[in-house]
Chains A and B, each alone.
Chain A
Amino acid sequence: MYSITASGLVVTYATSGIFNFAHGALGMLGAFTYWQLTVAWHVPPLAALALVLLVVAPLLGAVVERVLIRRLYGTSLSVTLVVTVGLLLALIGVANLIWSPVTPRVLKPFFPNSLIHLPGVNVSAHQAIVVLVSLLVAVALRVFLARTRTGATMRAVVDDPGLVALTGTSPARASQLSWALGSSLAALAGILLAPLVTLSILTLTLLVINGYAAAVVGRLRSLPLTAVGGLALGLAESYSTGYLGGDLPNLLRPALPMFLLFVAVVFLRDTRLRAGGRIVGWSPRAVGLGESVRWSSLLLVVALLAAALAPGGLVDFLSSTLAIGFVLLSLVLLSGYAGQVSLCQLTFVGVGAYVMAKVAPGGSAFGILVVVPVCALLGVAVAVPVLRLRGLYLALATLAFASGMDTIFFLNAFGTGGAISVPRLSLPGVDSNRGYLILLTLAFAAGAVGLLSLRRSRVGRRMSALNDSPAACVTLGVGVNRTKLGVFAGAAAMSGLGGVLLGGQEGLVSGNDFQMLNSLVLLLILTIGGASTVSGALLGAVLFSAFPIIAEHVSFLSQASLLLTGLGAVSIGRNPYGIVGEASRRFAAARQAGRGALASVVIRPSPLRDGVL
Chain B
Amino acid sequence: MSADADIPALELIDVRAGYGRIEVLHTVDLVVPPGSVVALLGPNGAGKTTTLAVASGRVVPTAGCVHVGGRHVNGLPPEAFVRGGVCSIPEGRGVFANLTVRDNLKLWSHGTSRSLSEIEDMVFARFPRLKERRRQLAGTMSGGEQQMLAVARAVVADAGLLLLDEISMGLAPRIVAELYELVAQLAADGLAILLVEQFAQTALAVADHAAIMTSGVIRAVGDPVDIAAELAAAYLGGVA
Interface CB pairs A-B, < 8 A, 20: A149-B106, A152-B107, A153-B107, A156-B99, A156-B103, A156-B107, A159-B98, A162-B90, A165-B79, A165-B82, A166-B56, A166-B78, A167-B107, A168-B111, A170-B77, A602-B20, A602-B21, A610-B59, A612-B58, A613-B19
Q: Please, which residues of chain B bring their CB within 8 A of the CB of A160?
A: 96
**A603 at the A/B interface (Cβ < 8 Å)?**
yes
Contacts A167-B111, A168-B83 hold; do A159 and B96 have CB atoms under 8 A apart? yes
- Mark out the residues of chain A between 159 and 187 whose CB falls within 8 Å of any chain B CB in the assembled complex: 159-160, 162-170
- The verdict on A158 contacting chain B, using a C-beta distance below 8 Å, is yes
Residue of A nearest to B95 (CB): A163
Kindly report which residue of chain A lies nearest to residue B21, judged by CB atoms: A601
* Contact, CB under 8 Å: A162 / B78: yes
Residues from chain A with Cβ under 8 Å of B97 in the complex: 159
* Cα separation A169 to B107 with both chains bound (whole Å): 9
B59: contacting residue among A164, A167, A613, CB under 8 A: A613
Answer whether residue A596 sits at the interface, using C-beta atoms and an 8 A cutoff.
no
Set B19, B78, B98, B153: member contacting A165, Cβ < 8 A: B78
Total contacting residues, chain A, CB less than 8 A = 26
Pairwise interchain contact B103-A613, C-beta atoms closer than 8 A? no
Within 8 A of B (CB), among A588-613: 601-605, 609-610, 612-613
Return chain A residues, CB-CB under 8 Å to B106.
149, 152
**B108 contacts across to A, CB distance below 8 A:** 167
B19/A603 in contact, CB under 8 A: yes
Query: Of all chain B residues, which has the CB nearest A164?
Result: B107
List of 4 A-B pairs having minimum Cβ-Cβ separation, nearest first: A168-B111, A168-B82, A165-B78, A159-B96
Residue of B nearest to A155 (CB): B99
Taking a contact as CB atoms closer than 8 A, the residue among B19, B82, B107 that contacts A149 in the complex is B107
Is B22's beta carbon under 8 Å from chain A? yes
Question: Across the two chains, which residue of chain B brings its CB closest to A613?
Answer: B53
Q: How far apart are B207's CB and chain A's nearest CB, in angstroms?
A: 23
Q: Which residues of B contact A159 (CB under 8 A)?
A: 96-99
Q: Say whether, besides A155-B99, A159-B98, A165-B77, A601 and B20 are in contact (CB < 8 Å).
A: yes
- Known interface pairs A156-B107, A612-B90. Does A165 touch B99 (Cβ–Cβ under 8 Å)? no
Q: Chain A contacts of B91 at CB under 8 A? A: 613
Asked whether A149 lies within 8 Å of B99 as measured between CB atoms, the reply is no
Nearest CB of A to B78, in Å: 4
Q: How far is the CB of B52 from chain A (nearest CB, A)?
A: 9
Chain A stretch 440-456: residues in CB contact (< 8 A) with chain B: none
Find out whether the CB atom of B107 lies under 8 angstroms from the CB atom of A613: no
Query: Is the CB–CB distance between B53 and A610 below 8 Å?
Result: yes
Known A-B contacts A160-B96, A613-B58, A613-B59; the reply to A153 vs B110 at CB < 8 A is yes
- Report whether A610 and B19 are in contact in the complex, using a CB–CB cutoff of 8 Å: yes
Taking the nearest CB of chain A, how far is it from the CB of B1, in angstroms?
13
Whether a CB of chain A sits under 8 angstroms from the CB of B136 is no
| B60 interface contact, C-beta 8 A | yes
Q: How far is the CB of B169 from chain A (nearest CB, A)?
A: 14
B-binding residues in A (CB < 8 A): 149, 152-153, 155-156, 158-160, 162-170, 601-605, 609-610, 612-613
Is B43 engaged at the interface, CB distance under 8 Å to the other chain?
A: no
Closest B residue by C-beta to A149: B106
**Which residues of A are found within 8 Å of B88, using beta-carbon distances?**
166
Annotate B67-105 by CB proximity to A: 1 below 8 A, 0 otherwise: 000000000011100110000101100111111000110
B36 at the interface (CB under 8 A from A): no
Name the residue among A158, A166, A601, A612 with the largest chain B CB count within 10 angstroms: A166
Asked, given contacts A165-B58, A604-B20, whether A158 binds B98 with beta carbons under 8 Å apart, the answer is yes
Closest CB in chain B relative to A36 CB, distance in Å: 39
* Separation of A166 and B20 alpha carbons in the complex (Å): 22
Residues of A within 8 Å of B79, CB to CB, are 165, 168-170
Complex alpha-carbon distance, A602 and B19, angstroms: 10
Complex interface: chain B residues within 8 A of A163 (CB): 90, 94-96
Given known pairs A604-B20, A609-B58, A612-B58, the reply for A156 and B94 (CB within 8 Å) is no
Which single residue of chain B is at the shortest CB-CB distance from A599? Answer: B21
Determine the chain A residues whose CB is within 8 A of the CB of B21 once the complex forms: 601-603
Chain B neighbourhood of A164, CB < 8 A? 107
CA distance A141 to B104 in the complex (A): 19
Q: Does B109 contact A (CB under 8 A)?
A: yes
Sample of 4 further A-B pairs with CB below 8 A, known A163-B90, A166-B58, A168-B79? A156-B104, A159-B98, A162-B58, A601-B21
C-alpha spacing A159/B95, complex, angstroms: 9
Most chain A beta-carbon neighbours within 10 Å: one of B20, B56, B97, B107: B107
Assess whether B50 is interfacial by the CB under 8 Å rule: yes
Closest Cβ of chain B to A600, distance in Å, is: 10
Which residue of chain A is the closest to B60 with respect to CB atoms?
Answer: A609
CB distance from B157 to the nearest CB of A (A): 9
Q: Does B147 contact A (CB under 8 A)?
A: no
CB within 8 Å of A: which B10-24 residues: 19-22
Chain A hits for B98, CB < 8 A:
155, 158-159
B173-200 contact mask (Cβ, 8 Å, vs A): 1 or 0: 0000000000000000000000000000
B110 surroundings in chain A (CB, below 8 A) = 149, 153, 167-169
The complex places the Cα of A603 from the Cα of B23 at a distance, in Å, of 12
A609 to B77, CA, bound (A): 8
CA distance A605 to B88 in the complex (A): 20
**How distant is A255 from chain B, measured CB to nearest CB, in Å?**
34
Q: In whole Å, how far is B127's beta carbon from the nearest beta carbon of chain A?
A: 18
A149 to B98, CA, bound (A): 15
The complex places the Cα of A449 from the Cα of B99 at a distance, in Å, of 50
Q: Does B49 contact A (CB under 8 A)?
A: yes
